[in-house]
Amino acid sequence: MEKRQEKYTAKPQEGISAAENMADEFAFGNFLGLPENGDSVDVVVLQIPYELTTSYGQGTAQGPAACIEASSQVELFDPVLGEDMPAEQNIFTAPAWSGEGPNLLAQLDGISNYLSPWFIGDCFPIILGGEHGILPPIVNATRKHPLVERDLSNLTIVQIDAHADLREELDGEKYSHACAASRSLDLGIKHLFQAGIRAYSKLENERIESDERITTYFARDTQSDMEVWKKWIITLENISGPVHLTLDIDGLDGSLVPATGTPVPGGLSFWQVSETIDALFRAKHAVVISVDVNEIVPQKDTPLTQFTAAMIATKALAAHIMAKRAGLWEQTTSQQGKQRNANDEKFFISQGK
């Protein structure tokens, strides 16, 4: 693989204009190595090194930083967008969530409070995790978004995952990563669409069959019948209203993400996840307000797992830029000047009492 990082850290050469040198500036620690290029933020990359309940593998706490490091090797040119990123967007890589909190519920509130200043509608959050238990606090933070209007019954979640994450509890913990979708439904979201699903319990299966708010495309169907896959894509194109896209990288085939907490065979190809992202972002009546890529675990010896995660996050970035240019992103100009207030809300703590 060509090392973009080395290429871009070469000293400025004589005979090259200042502008060309500027374009070659490489910012360590920033997503894609992109330097900030303005005062207002168009896209914010947020890092949640959260690991509490991963039941099988370990290392999700190191995932976000590994993904950002791997992103330095991702090509800036997106063939669908047709140009190099950042494509006139100012991309800000925010400092990671501190991880502080005396107990689980306080940590979940900490995650929500870390995120919510970026959900006032003026920029697009790309959230890197961390285990999938970050989903309920992400959903809680979307309440602040002007399109959600503090009413989560406006919000649709699209989930790529090997697991349904619809358990009521795992090992006695109801905020386990295995319960992420259940807890999001508890918060009152409008609908949950899932694909890649291939590891789930009998009870989860019953819930999928009985709950009208859940639409699941199982991997055994999409991976054996192209017509079923096409239906998934059409389903995405017909979603309306604000959407959060949650991409558990174990939705991909385990061969692409061997270091993730629970890699599972028989999953989606990279191109199917890419197609999912493109279809959702071009949906005419939907606005993807945020995306997370989670269950990233750094792989030793080869960066395949974190590089796959970085490629997916970059795909989502390019798709967002396309949607914005097509006028689908309702960047609420009325929000300009609104304060990005720090929050100290105790939603999950109050739920636990």
Restricting to residues 243-282, name those near Mn ion by CB under 5 A: 248
Q: Which of 131, 132, 222, 324 binds Mn ion (CB under 5 A)?
A: 132
Nearer residue to Mn ion within complex by CB, 131 or 278: 131
Nearer residue to Mn ion within complex by CB, 43 or 164: 164
Nearer residue to Mn ion within complex by CB, 180 or 233: 180
Tell me how far, at minimum, the Cβ of 132 lies from Mn ion, in Å.
Answer: 4
Tell me how far, at minimum, the Cβ of 308 lies from Mn ion, in Å.
Answer: 16
Long-range contacts of 24-30 (CB under 8 A, 24+ apart): 26/72, 29/68, 29/93, 30/68, 30/91, 30/93
Q: From its phi and psi, is residue 179 left (phi > 0), alpha (psi between -120 and 50) or beta?
A: alpha
Burial class (CB in 10 A: 0-12, 13-18, 19+), 239: buried
Residue recorded with tokens 């005062």: 39
Nearer residue to Mn ion within complex by CB, 70 or 160: 160
Stretch that binds Mn ion, among 90-98, 127-135, 145-153, 227-235 (CB under 5 A): 127-135
Q: Which of 51, 122, 161, 253 binds Mn ion (CB under 5 A)?
A: 161
Q: Which two tokens stand for residue 209?
A: 């069959």
Nearer residue to Mn ion within complex by CB, 72 or 290: 290
Tell me how far, at minimum, the Cβ of 170 lies from Mn ion, in Å.
Answer: 11
Q: Which of 69, 131, 165, 292 binds Mn ion (CB under 5 A)?
A: 165
Stretch that binds Mn ion, among 23-31, 108-116, 162-170, 214-222 (CB under 5 A): 162-170
Burial class (CB in 10 A: 0-12, 13-18, 19+), 35: middle
Residues 6+ apart with CB under 8 A from 12: 21, 24
Residue recorded with tokens 């309702």: 330
Nearest one of 236, 322, 310 to 279, comparing CA atoms: 236
Instruction: Report how far Cα 155 is from the mean position of its chain's Cα atoms.
Output: 15
Restricting to residues 211-250, name those near Mn ion by CB under 5 A: 248
Stretch that binds Mn ion, among 89-97, 155-163, 268-276, 313-321 (CB under 5 A): 155-163
Count of residues interacting with Mn ion (CB under 5 A): 5
Tell me how far, at minimum, the Cβ of 161 lies from Mn ion, in Å.
Answer: 4
Q: From its phi and psi, is residue 140 left (phi > 0), alpha (psi between -120 and 50) or beta?
A: alpha
Q: From its phi and psi, is residue 171 left (phi > 0), alpha (psi between -120 and 50) or beta?
A: left
The amino acid at residue 35 is P
Does 109 participate in binding Mn ion (rule CB under 5 A)? no
Nearer residue to Mn ion within complex by CB, 30 or 62: 62
Nearer residue to Mn ion within complex by CB, 51 or 165: 165
Which residues contact Mn ion by CB under 5 A? Answer: 132, 161, 163, 165, 248
